[in-house]
Every structure is written in C-alpha cells, then in structure tokens.
Amino acid sequence: VIGLVIGKTDVRSFPDRKNIGTERYTFSFTIRDSPTYFINVQSWGREEYIRSLSESFRVGDCVTIENPLIQSKEAEREEKFNPVTPSCYKLLLSENHSVVKTSSCYDTDTRLLSLLHLPVKDPQDYYSLGDIVANGQSLHGRVLNLLAAVMSVSE
C-alpha cells in the first residue's frame, strides 16, 4: 500500500496483560491514497521498534507499507481514538512481518501531495466558528466537527 500520511498519534504504552510487569507500545497513523479513501494503521510492539518506526516518518510523508495484516475494525471502540474512515478495515503492522518505507511523493506519485489538505469529513458535517459563537448555548455538551484556518501564531 502506498499512501500519504495525513495524521499520526504519539507513542503510548500500556501494561502487557500477558507478561505482567512489562509494557507494550503502540502508535497509529492514517494514510490516504485518493480523495475518497483513507485507512488507519496501527502498530504494537516493543518500545525500540515502535519508537523507531514512529520517528521514521511524519505527517505529509509518503509511505509504502509492505505485508500489513488486514483486520476488521471495531467501529465504536476504535473510532473514539482514531479518525473515522470510510473503510470497515484497518491495517496492523507487525514487527516480524511488516515493513514501512518512506519516499518522496515526487518519486511515487505527485497526485498524493494534493491529498494532504483535503478534509476527511463530509463538507456538510462542519460547524463554522460563527455558528458556535451564535449558538454556543444550544450546542453545549455536543461533539462538533470544526473547519477553521489558522490566521496567525504568536506567543
């Protein structure tokens, strides 16, 4: 699979239920290869493997994923922590079988570069900042999708 990394989480650790006293490490990222299709990728493993893999690419890089495991996703559980994707599957990376290679988008497919700035949500599913200011009371406690642009950055 070749795609553009459009999102990435930080490395996290969890107690390993099988080996008490040790920890398992994980991070996930989302890749996109067309305006319509993107998928979440998750990796679990030893700290050295996960940290090395996570540091090997960043958002905006093109990656080639070889030998991922394809799994059905548990939509309710997984979409709390990852972007909602149009696929009912996710890719799982294995330290022993999977390989992730980075490359320049110019070397693979320049069309991928334009995908970085496309929203992943339906254009009709956003609130503007003006809507929130005007209707803030009635929106209290709701989860909203926002589409906004950064106008300036300062201390």
* Beta-ladder partners of 17: none
Residue 47 has pLDDT above 90, yes or no: yes
For residue 106, name the pLDDT band (cuts at 50, 70, 90).
low
Domain ranges in the chain are: 2-114
Mean pLDDT of the region 2-25: 88
Closest CA to 5 of 36, 33, 35, 45: 33
Whole-number Å distance between alpha carbons of 54 and 28: 9
Give me the CATH code for the 2-114 domain, please: 2.40.50.140
pLDDT confidence of 30, banded at 50, 70, 90?
Answer: very high
What's the whole-number mean pLDDT along residues 25-54? 92
End-to-end CA distance of the chain: 40
Dihedral (CA of 109, 27, 93, 55) sign: positive
Cα torsion angle, 38, 119, 79, 93, sign: positive
